[in-house]
Structure 1
Amino acid sequence: MFFFPQQQIASFQKASFQALMSLTNKYMDGFQKLTELNVQTIRTLVSENEGVSNPTPENASDPGAWQSKFLTQVPEKAASYRRHFFAIVSGTGEEVAREAQSQFASYGGHMNEIFKTAADSASEVQEKAAVSLETNFKQATEASVEATAGAADAVAKNTQAIVSATTDAINTGADSATKSADKANQKR
């Protein structure tokens, strides 16, 4: 027996799909932000290196100057990239956690409602089964009592017929014996 109404199952599936889509959108937003950060970082590196690799009067006089300038900026740029990366990842994680909590809060109550409906349906089915069992038991008992009463009536009628026949036979036999005794007494 199926305890959940089809409407509740359909609404639960729809809500689950919407929750999945919402969480997927949160992850995709975070992924998009990371992609934008990587593209921006690459563009910045390319634009800075273009200026360094082109010969200008500044870097023509000292060829190692551009390398030292570039190498001193690498740790600073790496730290900046790392901060942005972790900010995006932690922000996405927080958004996903908030969304999961809100989904659980809204659909946790919905699940409680579904389970309550199932429990009510189960108790209704159980009550119907108990009533049906009681009715069937009463009907079987009544049929058994009627059959027993009919059999008792038949036995009583048969017994009465036998007693009647026996009484008639005894009376007939007694009358015959009395008549025979009277005849024997008269012959004497």
Structure 2
Amino acid sequence: MLTAEQLMAAQKANVETLFGLTSKAFEGVEKLVELNVTATKAALAEAAETTQSMLNVKDAQELLALQAALFQPLAEKTAAYSRHLYDISTSTGAEFTKAVEGQFSDVQKKFLAVVDNAAKNAPAGSETAVAVFKSAVAAGNNALESVQKAVKQATDVAEANFNAVASQAVNAAKTTTKAKR
């Protein structure tokens, strides 16, 4: 059976985990705000520069050249922004996953200790029931590990696809800019 000290220790660990995860969430939000402030400042400076350049345009040909020159850096900056956004969300998610997996591992160990303790104190003749229960717990753990591996593989595939799409978008912008010149 669980003692009051064990319950208090578990509660304390849960509160510490909650505050740790909250701290990580705020770090992610801080990074996101910093990214957006930086991007906004850069966009405002570029808008002012672009407006000034457009005011100095003498003819339509010069205007088309200016538009073409602006398109490629915009695509590259959008891809870079998306990459930073993805990195922030991935690192924050990884911290949450790490914490949850650590907590789950601890809970799993404690649960197995309770099951083992109950098995030792089980009445005679219940060995088969205890073995079936332990087998079910092991099967559940194996299923969970399989799901975690599948999620990791899916995340890796999604990241590879994201990188490929971002690269193609930048290359397409470069090609379009060259074609307009």
Task: Compute the TM-score of the two structures, normalised by the length of structure 1.
Answer: 0.51
Change (3 A) 1:19 1:108: farther
Q: 1:5 aligns with which of 3, 15, 24?
A: 3
Counterpart residue number, 1:71: 71
Paired with 1:123 and 1:106, the residues of 2 have a C-alpha distance of 23
Q: 1:42 aligns with which of 40, 46, 50?
A: 40
| TM-superposed deviation, 1:13 | 0.9
Give 1:54's aligned amino acid: Q
Give 2:100's aligned amino acid: A
Question: How high is the sequence identity, in percent, across the aligned residues?
Answer: 28
Change (3 A) 1:13 1:111: farther
Unpaired segments ≥5 residues, structure 2: 124-181
Paired with 1:8 and 1:60, the residues of 2 have a C-alpha distance of 76
Task: Compute the TM-score of the two structures, normalised by the length of structure 2.
Answer: 0.53
1:81 is the counterpart of 2:84: no
Paired with 1:56 and 1:4, the residues of 2 have a C-alpha distance of 74
Q: Tell me whether 48-57 or 80-89 shows the greater mean CA deviation.
A: 48-57
Counterpart residue number, 2:90: 90
Higher-Rg structure is 1
Give 1:42's aligned amino acid: T
| TM-superposed deviation, 1:108 | 3.5
Counterpart residue number, 1:184: none
Paired with 1:99 and 1:92, the residues of 2 have a C-alpha distance of 11
Alignment of 1:136-175 (within 5 A): none
Change (3 A) 1:32 1:111: farther
Paired with 1:94 and 1:55, the residues of 2 have a C-alpha distance of 44
Paired with 2:5 and 2:14, the residues of 1 have a C-alpha distance of 14
Higher relative contact order (CA 8 A, sep 6+): 2
Paired with 1:32 and 1:111, the residues of 2 have a C-alpha distance of 37
Paired with 1:108 and 1:44, the residues of 2 have a C-alpha distance of 49
| TM-superposed deviation, 1:56 | 8.8
